[in-house]
């Protein structure tokens, strides 16, 4: 595939437009609770200790960063939002301003990639998942959590949700990106204005090729 210089410029301008729509992720009870549940389930699969290097993609204001730090892990976060960046750094976390699809870390840097409610914001989720795969060691684990499609919350209509898919679509994308899902969980919850919402959690291993 050949890209012209004008095409690259237009793409970069489009990325800047998308980035301008990023918003701060203030703590929410539902997300804090699910983070705790997902974290406890993760601990049944892996040992979290000082030897584990963790990347929290789209770290918000640090709920998962705190969980991993309490367990002694070497945790790093990335976010696009300047408010979240400042909040996390004020708590002593190493957090970088990076796009989830273009992260400046070397190959096989991390044992675990934690990605809660971030890939739905990607305009090219297959490429984003490939980036996660690149950053993981050969025995690495990915935890991916996304909103389900077609719930009463209609997540696809969120201004900066670009990739809201069904469970089977996510499983197919993860497979194509080089992951094998070995466990999963659905988080179902009522909405305060009526109806129900569902989040999909996927625990995946990097495929060895």
Q: Is residue 4 part of a domain?
A: no
Q: What is the pTM of this model?
A: 0.93
Q: Is residue 7 part of a domain?
A: no
| Percent of the chain predicted with pLDDT > 70 | 99
pLDDT of residue 91: 96
Distances (CA, A) of 57 to 7, 64, 125: 28, 10, 13
**Of the given ranges (2-6, 22-26, 134-138), which has the lowest mean pLDDT?**
22-26
In this model, does residue 103 exceed pLDDT 90? yes
Q: Is residue 11 part of a domain?
A: no
pLDDT category, 6, cuts 50, 70, 90?
Answer: confident
pLDDT in tens, 167-202: 999 999 999 999 999 999 999 999 988 999 999 999
Hey, is 7 helix, strand or coil? helix
pLDDT category, 22, cuts 50, 70, 90?
Answer: confident
pLDDT of residue 21: 77
Which of 151-158's residues contact partners 24+ apart within 8 Å by CB, and which partners?
151/195, 151/196, 151/197, 151/198, 152/191, 152/194, 152/195, 152/196, 152/197, 153/191, 153/195, 153/197, 155/120
pLDDT category, 8, cuts 50, 70, 90?
Answer: confident
Q: Is residue 19 part of a domain?
A: no
pLDDT in tens, 28-58: 788 889 999 999 999 999 999 999 999 999 9
Q: Is residue 133 part of a domain?
A: yes
Could you tell me the residue range of the domain that residue 30 belongs to?
A: 26-206
Q: Is residue 72 part of a domain?
A: yes
CB 45 within 8 A of CB 22: no
Which residue shows structure tokens 């659905």?
186
| Average pLDDT of the segment spanning 21-29 | 76
pLDDT of residue 76: 98
Q: Is residue 177 part of a domain?
A: yes
pLDDT of residue 16: 84
Q: Which residues of 72-99 are buried (b: 16+ CB within 10 A; e: fewer)?
A: ebbbbbbbbbeebbebbeeeebebbeeb
In this model, does residue 136 exceed pLDDT 90? yes
Of 86, 61, 72, 169, nearest to 120 by C-alpha is 169
Q: Is residue 17 part of a domain?
A: no
pLDDT of residue 1: 64
Mean residue pLDDT of the chain comes to 93
pLDDT of residue 144: 98
Can you give the CATH number for the domain in which 103 is found?
3.40.50.150
In this model, does residue 24 exceed pLDDT 80? no
Count how many domains the chain has. Answer: 1
């Amino acid at each position: 595939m050949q890209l012209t210089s004008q095409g690259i410029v237009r793409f970069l301008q489009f990325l800047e437009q998308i980035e301008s729509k990023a918003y701060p992720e203030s703590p929410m009870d539902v997300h804090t609770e699910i983070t705790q549940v997902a974290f406890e389930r993760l601990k049944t699969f892996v040992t979290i200790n000082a030897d584990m290097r963790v990347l929290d993609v789209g770290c918000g204001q640090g709920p998962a960063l705190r969980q991993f730090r309490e367990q002694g892990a070497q945790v790093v976060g990335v976010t696009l939002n300047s408010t979240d960046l400042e909040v996390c750094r004020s708590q002593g976390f190493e957090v970088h301003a990076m796009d989830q699809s273009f992260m400046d870390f070397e190959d096989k840097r991390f044992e675990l990639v934690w990605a809660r409610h971030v890939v739905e914001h990607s305009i090219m989720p297959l490429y984003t998942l490939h980036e996660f795969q690149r950053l993981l060691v050969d025995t690495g684990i990915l935890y991916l959590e996304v909103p389900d499609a077609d719930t009463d919350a209609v997540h696809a209509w969120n201004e900066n949700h670009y990739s809201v898919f069904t469970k089977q679509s996510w499983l197919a994308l993860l497979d194509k990106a080089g992951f094998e899902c070995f466990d999963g969980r659905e988080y179902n919850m009522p909405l305060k204005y009526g109806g129900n919402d569902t989040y999909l959690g996927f625990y995946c291993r990097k495929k060895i090729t």
